[in-house]
A and B are shown apart, each in its own frame.
Chain A
Amino acid sequence: DTAVSQTPKYLVTQMGNDKSIKCEQNLGHDTMYWYKQDSKKFLKIMFSYNNKELIINETVPNRFSPKSPDKAHLNLHINSLELGDSAVYFCASSQEAEAFFGQGTRLTVV
């Protein structure tokens, strides 16, 4: 069973569209994250949630809105997509220090 699963794996969309990426973890972890990895492979934290509550918001544009309906899910909705949003987005979860990552969603905005 996949511990942290994200859907979709690939997403190609036009500028201005709104899209969502879903993430689910079956590890029973309290903390979930969204990371963005750019073309240079730099991994940057976007959001951190603990028990459905937002803990960290790393000055991400408010076009990005995370939603956590329960502690096993953390979805990412992006409005008015821009070319610069093209990247790989990773969901992760942790209970203590070790983070478990999903396989990533490669978003391409054209």
Chain B
Amino acid sequence: SQQGEEDPQALSIQEGENATMNCSYKTSINNLQWYRQNSGRGLVHLILIRSNEREKHSGRLRVTLDTSKKSSSLLITASRAADTASYFCATDFRGGFKTIFGAGTRLFVKA
């Protein structure tokens, strides 16, 4: 399977704590993306990191990529209740015409 796999499957933290989610994939990639899905809604793009990048920041988000280990992590700092959602990593194949998603990490932030 080419799908990314997120770890953990579910994560429950207190507001203000940091949340770390990991993603592993199996084949070479051009880039890796992270998406968020609120309950009952479509996915929203958060951040993209290219294969030649090791770390990227966007607001409270920090993404790392280790192509030697075929893994990525998403760190959400100072979490808020509004961060409660499922988070998916995604990798591109076939020149970008095939984006494969993992099973997601369900994050629950308690107020």
Contact = CB atoms under 8 A, between A and B. Distances in A.
Interface of A: 4, 31, 33, 35, 40-45, 48, 50, 55-56, 58, 90, 92, 94, 96-104
B42 A90 contact: yes
Contacts of B37: 41
Interface residues on B, range: 20 to 34
Contacts of A58: 98
B97 A101 contact: no
Contact of B98 (A42, A56, A101, A102): A56
Interface of B: 30-31, 33, 35, 37, 40-45, 48, 86, 88, 90, 92, 94, 96-101, 103-104, 106
6 contacts: A42-B101, A42-B104, A43-B101, A97-B33, A97-B48, A101-B44
Contacts of B41: 103-104
Contacts of A94: 96, 99
Contacts of A48: 94, 97-98
Contacts, number: 67
Residue among A35, A41, A94 facing the most chain B CB atoms (10 A cut-off): A41
A3 to B, nearest CB: 10
A55 B99 CA distance: 12
Contacts of B35: 99
A7 to B, nearest CB: 14
Given A41-B86, A102-B42, A31 B33 contact: no
A33 B86 contact: no
Dominant SS among interface residues on chain A: strand
A40 to B, nearest CB: 7
A101 to B, nearest CB: 3
A55 B45 contact: no
Contacts of B48: 97-98
A63 B94 CA distance: 25
B104 A41 contact: yes
A104 B44 CA distance: 12
A55 B98 CA distance: 9
A99 B99 contact: yes
